[in-house]
A and B are shown apart, each in its own frame.
Chain A
Amino acid sequence: MSADSRFSSSSAAKATTQAQQQRADAIAGLTFVGPAMLALIVFLILPLLVALYFSFTNWSGTRPLDQPDAYEVVGFKNYQRWVIDGRRVDDFYRAVRNTVYYVLGVVPIQTVIALLLAVIVNQRWLRGKSFYRTAFYFPSITSSIVVSFIFLFLFSAGGPINAVLSLLSPAYEPVAWTTNNDGVLHLLLETVGITEDSAGAWVEIEIMDLEIWDWIAGPSVAMSTIMALAIWTTSGTLMVIYLSALQGIPSSVYEAAEVDGASNWAQFRHITLPLLKPTTFFVVTLGLIGTFQVFDQIYVLQNDQTGRTTTSVAYLVYATAFESSSPNLAEASAIAIVLFVIIFVATILQRRFVGGDRAED
């Protein structure tokens, strides 16, 4: 009897303390997330909505917002002008072309280099692992602006790249790398005798106000130096990511394969690569998100002569808002929103193809 009542009262007390505990946790939880939530909402979520809203207005940014007639809502006019069929369509798609070549050039190369380096550094027989890791990782702790200036210097007319190439071949004529607008695919076609004139009339057909010939230009020489920069900077970081994934693969897996007589190549192909798939997904996603937004490097290496072949979409947003002779924040916001959508779609597409959530092929 007494035991029974003691039991029920203690369980009732337990229930109240549990309810109290839950309330205390809820209050603590809200207090704990409060500052971060406020900062994220005010400086990330709200700005996104503001950008979306202004992309549907005609506010150029000069008129004070508190005036009643500061701007009008104009619907999709900015999108139409830049993306659909308006006057700035060629500028937009030129930037899209530049960015896409940049992404397609940088992401696969840096991923493959990172994987190769990681596999080599992970070999048991290799001495001086930490030296290589330090050397490869160092560029990624360096400011993107510093790296850009280093590359501007490396590829300058009298710079080290030209100096080294002249040393290697006396016949070499220094190239003005950072001001050269020639597309590398155009240059390749030229070596087999195909030029805009000889390719036929179809290359002059315009798609989104840009001739097919311009679409297939490839990245310009100037853009290629920026791509080299990106690969040079990022490969090491991605290598460290791959390396930590490789070190997470238990050696017993390989020992079992060795007992079965699997060659090194077979082990790499059928064990290492499949096990690295989530890491590859992560590395490619990082690469896509980073390269689609390329800005700092363009800001430094861009010049008056190469604007047409080095302007990225991200840089176009900035230039339209702040650097143009007639700045237009509403139009720049529209371009920014389109870039957001492009990155979003690209990430989803690569999820389809690389298949980050599926473990095996």
Chain B
Amino acid sequence: MRMPPFELHNPTSLSEALATAADLEEAGQDFDWIAGGTDLLPNYKWHINAKKHVIALAKVSELTELSPTHIGAMVRLHDLAQSDASHPVLAKAANSIASVMIRRSGTVGGNICLDTRCYWFNQSEQWRESIDWCHKCDCGTAADCRVIPNQNTLCVATYQADLAPVLMCLEATIHLASPSGQRSVLLSEFFELDGMTRNVLQRGELVTHLTLPEGAGEWQGDYQKLSQRESWDFPEAGVAVLWKRNGGAKPADLRVGTTGLESIPGFHTEEAASALVDWRGKESIDELAEAIRKAVKPVQNTWYAPSYRRKMVKVLTRRACAGLL
């Protein structure tokens, strides 16, 4: 595999990075941000939507702050997993990503913005030619979706990053910056249901950091992940359940997030709320697990069949709730 040539820009501050982006934008040049590169570069080698310009964020020091309420976009996954400042469930999720070497390079921002994945898409150029390309990377052929044929309106590639469901449950806010200014949205509103657009990021915009509300530390919970191997593999399904206790057996509040099942991570507020209405311990957990299973709609584009992944969502949800009993 050989990387297609690109020009690498190495800004040393956020403002310089944004200025570089603005310049490229003005010149009509397409570009990608690169953080850890563990996802982007393999895709580049496969000639998947490679750009002529790449802006590296490695030297932008403003983005590396890590505290219980502030997580810079350039915080390495390994640091997030190891730091005392990390919420324990977040640390667990971070520690389940890929392998040590990839976690040492991969970043929080990169993980949140991880490109969606699909059997028909994450392949070499030659391979994709053999299937006549696909909707997500059609190389100008207007090719059809290979997972659900006869539709090329929506890409159903799967979002397979581990951090988002936990962060959504912790009510994280994501902070974005672009040459035209800064804005913040709730992480749960950051994603857009389409395997190609994926999220609300505009051209030239990047993630600077995430913030967690002050009380995040009061939330307990668990993250459960389904994968063939304990290392390397992307989640075939992931469920985060977080709750706040008020002394009694019934949790005062409950949140459920999922990943690896659709084009965006799921945040299941309704299901969580109805579980709390009439809390009966194990029974309620079973009902919640069943409700989450019903709520997700995986397709056939990853290692495991969708029917299995759905069934496992139920098991994972139950297991993530084990601390509630």
Q: Do A and B interact?
A: no
Taking beta carbons and an 8 Å cutoff, which residues of B are in contact with A?
none
Taking beta carbons and an 8 Å cutoff, which residues of A are in contact with B?
none
